[in-house]
Structure 1
Amino acid sequence: MAWIVLVISGVLEAVWATALGRSEGFSKLGPSVVFGVAILASMAGLAYAMRTLPIGTAYAVWVGIGASLTVTWAMATGDETVSLLKIALIVGLIGCVIGLKLAH
């Protein structure tokens, strides 16, 4: 159960990071509200998962999921340029996250 909550929390990290960028310094209400709700839920899920998972592994997996999804979303929406190097690095990051899960 902790792993499922951790993955969902990692997805929510990508949501709050994207909303933070779109809030324009918290000057836009909609993205600012999404940011607030998503960061609270993401942190609560991370805290829950850390009750049973090692802190280093849980945090690294959470950040890896959030970072890879944030960059992937930005490339998919045209906010960031797509390059083979970026794609390779994201694949490498995902591979490292999977490795941490398997090493647990």
Structure 2
Amino acid sequence: MSNANLSWLYLLIAGLSEIGWAVGLKYTEGFSRPLPTVATVAGMIVSFYFLALAMRAIPLGTAYAVWTGIGAVGTVILGMILFGESRDLARLACIALILAGVVGLKWLGGAGSAQ
């Protein structure tokens, strides 16, 4: 696997970890529950670690936007599944726009100079 592809894999792991810790925040109940709190903080550490690795080859703006996009889309979807949050058409359309932006940045952002 090339460095560029590996960096995108790192970014995917970082984004998925962001979903985990964002959802985990709900279960910590304001950091009052120890086990969910520890799991959430661990997810944060994993997410930031892999984001930092990805930024070795992916430009900052691209990496950060993709990372937050993955996190946002995944968290909204899990919010719908786990917590019964709204699934109205306008909300789904907005999620699709975020997803389109993430895909566009992957295609157009490339793994050029990360300086």
Q: TM-score, normalised by structure 2?
A: 0.87
Please tell me whether residue 98 in structure 1 is matched to residue 103 in structure 2: yes
Separation (CA, whole Å) in 1 of partners of 2:21 and 2:82? 16
Matching of residue 42 in structure 1 with residue 81 in structure 2: no
Q: Does 1:6 align with 2:11?
A: yes
The equivalent position to 1:69 in structure 2, one of 61, 69, 74, is 74
Q: What displacement does 1:22 show?
A: 1.5
Mean CA deviation greater in 80-89 or 41-50? 80-89
Structure 2 match to 1:60: 65
Distance 1:87 1:31 in 2: 29
1:87 to 92, 95, 99: 92
TM-score under structure 1 normalisation? 0.96
Displacement over 3 Å in runs of 4+: none
Q: Distance in 2 between matches of 1:33 and 1:81?
A: 29
Deviations 1:13-53, CA, capped at 9 Å, x for gaps: 01001111210111011210111110000000000000111
1:30 aligns with 2:71: no
CA distance in 2, matches of 1:16, 1:79: 19
The alpha carbon displacement at 1:101 in A equals 0.7
Structure 2: segments with no counterpart, 5+ residues: 1-5, 110-115
Q: Report the equivalent of 2:83.
A: 78
Identity %: 41
Can you list the C-alpha shifts for 1:31-87, whole angstroms capped at 9, x where unaligned? 101111100000000000001110000000000000100000000123412111111
